[in-house]
């Protein structure tokens, strides 16, 4: 046992030394320092098990003595020596990294020794707990806590030395898919192997951690320019891209990486991780399997995002949204087959804002949930108003964001809205995106079956653009696939788009689902779709999204059509 006694009073030191020697001279090696400065020399020269620390030293007093020792050696146990008059103070600092205290002159050798042994044990336990609290048991690397601690230290060092630190934020692309298709064990194995591969790329001194889920972070001191950071990021991408073997399955995954520098991008340590996270999302948006640097522009976008979010909240309160309806046409009969309700926002400050701009913000902020129910209720009201005018009705589809669908009471609230307005369920179709199919959870299945039993139709919007797992399609009670506009618009130019449309139509046929082509703008597109067997279409060729009042004549025509003419006269272009 190696002890360092830091005590400037010669008598106190002599007494303690003698008491210890009387007991277990052979076991204890006692070194004496008279000040923190002297203690520094000893602690730097060799590892001690414990420091016996006086709190009235020439170069420090009180808690400052403890902090000085801890800064010199964070792993050494500390027992403070107090006089009879300041015992209360000694007790009060027991949770400040001090393991025990001894009142001077009171201790017999045996008591002192017991206290020392106990303090060393306690320190070891503390270190172990501390380690575990900073450790990710799955991948056996540091966790978020560890990373944040290390980040604080690294940035403090960079500040002192005027150097830079690069922070890499990694997220596995579509990790959830691996988990869902191969199971959680395979997901765990993947995380372990990713951690190993990343470890192989970092140098000693770099700090790496798993922040949670499929997120990893790496901190590199001394990487101070975008070129070097880019080279490193590319290596990280490459090492993850090589195939993994999980439970005998070979799979390939990719990652997206966000990079930020301290202090050039931001000198607020707390913001660093957030910024790298933002950059990582940009890398995902740019198509995954790549890296992006955090930039001021992203920061501006973030501010704009918050601004937009506030305005959406206000528009929700002030009923600033309205709905337009776009016709869906049966291509064989040329009759109106249904409508899609689409949101419009005329913002007093910004003018008309496109759903492509505000829907993602409403989704990220959660406003989409109340907004979605507002849409559903408005559609019900519109249907009731048409019904009151004795107009024939066609089903109206309502877009549902995954976020809204994930609410535990979604199906109940849909049922309640229909019930409240007295709308027949088969007049409502819910359009959801493919992301929902990846939500292959018990709850998702139950919700969809409940909706189905209620009588509403379910369609998958923008089909073909997501990463649809076709096997999921079979397992869900879906009625319609909407072929994404991007394929339709390329019918004339792109063979692949034609092949994809063909594949979607035959897939739908085999699963007995209807198909609706989105964004039909030309007669050539129309001809192609008819020939391939897609019988319902929506697009500017038949009608723009328009206010309810402009839909009324179409419905009236439909009414006439059933008795008089088989073909309704849809305007080639009706402004909405
Ligand atoms: P979506 O559900 O796929 O809706 C179809 C979009 O395509 C609409 O854009 C529509 O105006 C546009 N469109 C229709 N025909 C044509 C065409 O022939 N050519 C072209 N170029 N575009 C056509 P919009 O209204 O801007 O909405 C964009 C997206 O915003 C929608 O895509 C939907 O995902 C989302 N959205 C709109 N309203 C709602 C809503 O009430 N709730 C939710 N959750 N999302 C909504
Ligand atoms: Mg839609
Ligand atoms: Mg769509």
Q: What pLDDT score does 574 carry?
A: 40
Nearest to 498 by CA among 512, 517, 480, 514: 517
Tell me how far apart the alpha carbons of residues 115 and 136 are, in angstroms, rounded to a whole number: 33
Residue located nearest, by CA, to atom 21 of ligand 1: 519
Residues 110 and 155 in one domain: no
Question: 356: domain range?
Answer: 321-556
C-alpha of residue 399 to centroid of ligand 1, in Å: 9
Looking at the fold, whether 289 and 326 belong to one and the same domain comes out as no
pLDDT score at 564:
37
The verdict on residue 126 lying in a domain is: yes
Rounded-to-integer distance, Cα 193 and Cα 268, Å: 32
The CATH number for 63's domain is: 3.40.50.2300
Q: In the prediction, which pLDDT does 46 show? A: 83
Domain count, the chain: 3
Greatest pairwise CA separation for the chain in angstroms: 117
Q: Which of 71, 106, 134 is the last residue of a domain?
A: 134
Ligand 1 center to 423 CA (angstroms): 24
Assess contact for 379 and 396: CB atoms under 8 A: yes
Say if residue 341 is in the same domain as residue 397. yes
How far away, in angstroms, is 566 Cα from ligand 3 center? 28
Q: Does residue 54 share a domain with residue 130?
A: yes
Report the residue among 341, 358, 399, 434 best suited for mutation to probe ligand 1: largest number of ligand atoms under 8 A from its CB.
399
Query: Distance (Å, rounded) from C-alpha 339 to C-alpha 347?
Result: 25
The answer on 172 and 129 residing in a single domain is: no
Task: Answer yes or no: are the C-beta atoms of 221 and 205 closer than 8 Å.
Answer: yes
Ligand 1 contact, 556 CB (< 6 A): no
- Kindly state the tokens that stand for 240: 């993850």
Tell me whether residue 570 is in a domain: no
Give the Å distance between the CA of 460 and the centre of ligand 2: 8
| Same domain for 203 and 90 | no
Ligand 1 centroid, distance to 355 Cα (angstroms): 7
Residue 332 makes CB contacts below 8 A (sequence gap 6+) with: 530, 535
Asked if the structure places residue 127 within a domain, the reply is yes
User: Tokens standing for 498?
Assistant: 């034609």
In a domain, 71, yes or no: yes
> Could you tell me if 551 and 318 are in contact, meaning their C-beta atoms sit under 8 angstroms apart?
no
Query: 484 C-alpha vs ligand 1 centroid, how far in Å?
Result: 11
* Pocket test residue of 402, 484, 485 for ligand 1, highest count of atoms within 8 A of CB: 485
| CATH number for the domain that contains residue 347 | 3.20.20.450
Give the pLDDT score at 107: 67
- Same domain as 165, residue 82: no
pLDDT at 140: 92
Instruction: Give CA–CA dist 305/360, Å, rounded.
Output: 10
**H or E, element range at 479:** none
Same domain, 253 and 150: yes
Identify whether residues 437 and 350 lie together within a single domain: yes
DSSP-derived pairing of the beta strands 321-330 and 536-537: antiparallel
For residue 127, the CA-to-ligand 1 centroid distance in Å is: 57
Is position 535 within any domain? yes
The answer to the question of residue 568 being in a domain is: no
| 3-class DSSP state of 487 | helix
Secondary structure E strands in 8-49: 29-33
- Given 134, 165, 199, which residue is the final one in a domain? 134
Dist. CA 103–CA 199, nearest whole Å = 48
Which residue's alpha carbon is at the smallest distance from atom 26 of ligand 1? 355
pLDDT at res. 83:
80
The whole-model pTM stands at 0.61
Any domain includes 312: no
Cβ–ligand 1 distance for 55 under 6 Å, the answer no
Among 358, 359, 458, residue to substitute to test ligand 1 (most atoms within 8 Å of Cβ): 359
464 lines ligand 1 (CB under 6 A): no
CA distance 289 to 299: 22
Last residue of a domain, one of 76, 100, 134: 134
In-domain check, residue 306 = no
Together in a domain, 119 and 157: no
Q: Which two tokens stand for residue 178?
A: 């691996």
pLDDT for 519:
96
> Does 493 share its domain with 401?
yes
What is the SS3 assignment for 110?
Answer: helix
Residue 566 CA, distance from chain mean position: 52
CATH number at residue 289: 3.30.70.270
Each residue's pLDDT expressed in tens, for the chain with a length of 576 residues: 899 999 999 888 888 888 888 776 567 899 999 999 999 999 998 889 999 999 999 999 999 999 999 989 989 999 999 887 788 888 888 878 899 998 887 766 678 888 899 999 999 998 888 888 899 999 999 999 999 989 998 998 888 888 889 999 999 998 988 888 889 999 999 999 999 999 999 998 899 999 999 999 999 998 888 888 999 999 999 999 999 999 888 999 999 999 999 887 776 777 889 899 999 998 998 889 999 998 877 677 777 888 999 999 999 999 999 999 999 999 888 889 999 999 999 999 999 999 999 999 999 889 999 999 999 999 999 999 999 999 999 999 999 999 999 999 999 999 999 999 999 999 999 999 887 777 667 888 899 999 999 999 999 999 887 665 566 778 889 999 999 999 999 999 999 899 989 989 998 999 899 999 999 999 999 999 999 999 999 999 999 999 999 999 999 887 654 443 333 444 444 443
Q: Ligand 2: distance of its center to the CA of 431 in Å? A: 6
DSSP state letter for 35: S
Cβ of 327 below 6 Å from ligand 1: no
Q: Does ligand 1 come within 6 angstroms of the Cβ of 399?
A: yes
In this structure, the answer to whether residues 25 and 82 fall within a common structural domain is yes
For a pocket test of ligand 1, which of 344, 355, 482 has the largest count of ligand atoms closer than 8 A to its C-beta? 355
């Amino acid at each position: 046992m190696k002890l360092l006694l830091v005590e400037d009073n010669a008598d106190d030191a002599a007494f303690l030394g003698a008491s210890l020697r009387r007991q277990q001279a052979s076991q204890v090696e006692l070194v004496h320092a008279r000040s923190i400065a002297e203690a520094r020399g000893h602690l730097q020269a060799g590892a001690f098990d414990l420091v016996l620390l006086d709190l009235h030293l020439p170069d420090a007093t009180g808690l400052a003595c403890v902090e000085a020792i801890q800064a010199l050696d964070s792993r050494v146990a500390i027992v403070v020596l107090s006089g009879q008059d300041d015992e209360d103070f000694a007790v009060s600092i027991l949770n400040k990294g001090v393991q025990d205290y001894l009142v001077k002159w009171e201790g017999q050798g045996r008591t002192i020794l017991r206290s020392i042994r106990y303090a060393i044990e306690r320190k070891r336990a503390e270190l172990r707990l501390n380690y575990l609290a900073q450790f990710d048991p799955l991948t056996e690397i540091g966790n978020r806590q560890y990373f944040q601690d290390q980040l604080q230290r690294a940035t403090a060092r960079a500040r002192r030395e005027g150097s830079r630190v690069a922070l890499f934020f990694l997220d596995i692309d579509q990790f959830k898919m691996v988990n869902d298709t191969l199971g959680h064990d395979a997901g765990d194995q993947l995380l372990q192997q990713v951690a190993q591969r990343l470890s192989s790329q970092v140098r000693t001194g770099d700090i790496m951690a798993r922040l949670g889920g499929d997120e990893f972070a790496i901190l590199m001191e001394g990487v101070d320019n975008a070129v070097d950071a880019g080279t490193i990021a590319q290596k990280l991408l490459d090492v993850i891209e090589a195939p993994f073997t999980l439970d005998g399955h070979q799979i390939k995954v990719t990652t997206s990486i966000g990079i930020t520098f301290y202090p050039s991008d931001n000198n607020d340590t707390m913001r660093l991780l957030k910024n790298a996270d933002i950059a990582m999302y940009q890398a995902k948006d740019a198509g995954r399997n790549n890296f992006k640097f955090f930039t001021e522009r992203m920061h501006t976008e973030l501010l704009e995002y918050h601004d937009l979010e506030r305005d959406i909240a206000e528009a929700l309160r002030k009923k600033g949204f309205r709905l337009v309806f776009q016709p869906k046409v049966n291509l064989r009969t040329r009759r109106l087959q249904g409508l899609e309700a689409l949101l419009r926002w005329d913002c007093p400050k910004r003018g008309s804002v496109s759903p492509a701009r505000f829907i993602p913000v409403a989704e990220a902020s959660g406003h989409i949930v109340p907004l979605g129910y507002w849409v559903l209720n408005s559609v019900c009201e519109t249907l009731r108003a048409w019904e009151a005018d004795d107009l024939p009705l066609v089903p109206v589809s309502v877009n549902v964001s995954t976020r809204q669908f994930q609410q535990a009471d979604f199906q109940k609230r849909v049922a309640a809205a229909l019930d409240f307005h007295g709308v027949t369920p088969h007049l409502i179709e819910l359009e959801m995106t493919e992301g929902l199919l990846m939500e292959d959870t018990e709850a998702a299945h139950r919700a969809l079956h409940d909706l189905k039993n209620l009588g509403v139709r379910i369609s998958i919007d923008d089909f073909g653009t997501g990463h649809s797992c076709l096997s999921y399609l079979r397992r869900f009670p879906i009625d319609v696939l909407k072929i994404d506009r991007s394929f339709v618009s390329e019918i004339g130019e792109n063979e692949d788009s034609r092949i994809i449309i063909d594949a979607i139509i035959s897939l739908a046929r085999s699963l007995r689902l209807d198909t609706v082509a989105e964004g039909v703008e030309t007669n050539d597109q129309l001809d192609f779709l008819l020939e391939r067997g897609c019988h319902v279409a929506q697009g500017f060729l038949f009608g723009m999204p328009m206010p309810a009042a402009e839909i009324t004549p179409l419905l009236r025509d439909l009414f006439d059509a059933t008795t008089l003419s088989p073909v309704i006269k849809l305007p080639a272009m009706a402004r909405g």
